[in-house]
A and B are shown apart, each in its own frame.
Chain A
């Protein structure tokens, strides 16, 4: 049932993270994105495909050109993923603090 790629897997790659930070500033064509890297156009195109498949990038057709930009909702989802983990530790540390205050 793994139709969609794992977002975490997608952002684990440094080139893909660099692409995300580029398009975070402005929508870019695949050619303009590739122009920032030494890798082949084909390699960059594959990275863009992976990022698009997991919805981190959004495609927009403008005339004959396709532009890519960052999907902020998906990025927020990644941040939210960590929230239950943070909450778990926050609860645990609150308990620690309460227990240790009784030791004073």
Chain B
């Protein structure tokens, strides 16, 4: 089966390209990136600030049940062309991940289908690889935590 979401990260390069085709008109796909209420739903984070325009900026934050901040990020828009293009920076706060530059291209395929092309550039090869490895490492951590929980219960 052809994978819907593709990640192209060539070895030794400091960028990556994520592509995905959607069964959505390009206008709807763009709205998912341009309206904070919608973004909150699929990103699973709270949008604190969103100025969807050139030189505008955004901030997002996720808190756990105790109100502790577990994720916060911010960035600035360099280009914001409806149904066509978004260029923005993205920085995860309080992490060593650095700032990344993101080029989102929204492409109309048919009246009901569209494609997203996200080109993400990092400061270094090491930083990109760090980001790539994060979900893998998290998966390991979660597996470890679950194991720990089970072990604690069986004590």
Q: Which residues of A contact B (CB under 8 A)?
A: 8-9, 11-14, 17, 78, 81-90, 92-97, 99-101, 103-104
Contact = CB atoms under 8 A, between A and B. Distances in A.
| Chain A CB within 10 Å, residue with most, of B7, B43, B125, B138 | B7
Interface of A is mostly: helix
Given A90-B3, A100-B29, A85 B41 contact: no
B9 interface: yes
Nearest to B118: A89
Interface of B: 3-7, 9, 11-12, 18, 20, 22-24, 28-29, 31-32, 38, 41-43, 116, 125-126, 129, 131-136, 138-139
Given A13-B12, A86-B5, A86-B6, A81 B29 contact: no
A99 B23 contact: no
A9 to B, nearest CB: 8
A88 B139 CA distance: 11
Nearest to A81: B136
Closest 4 pairs (CB-CB, A-B)? A90-B5, A84-B135, A96-B42, A11-B11
B5 to A, nearest CB: 4
12 contacts: A8-B126, A11-B11, A81-B133, A85-B135, A86-B6, A89-B5, A93-B116, A96-B42, A97-B24, A100-B29, A100-B38, A101-B23
A9 B11 CA distance: 10
A82 B28 contact: no
Contact of B136 (A13, A85, A101): A85
B42 A95 contact: yes
A100 B12 contact: no
B22 A93 contact: yes
Contacts of B138: 84
A12 B126 contact: yes
Contacts of A104: 28
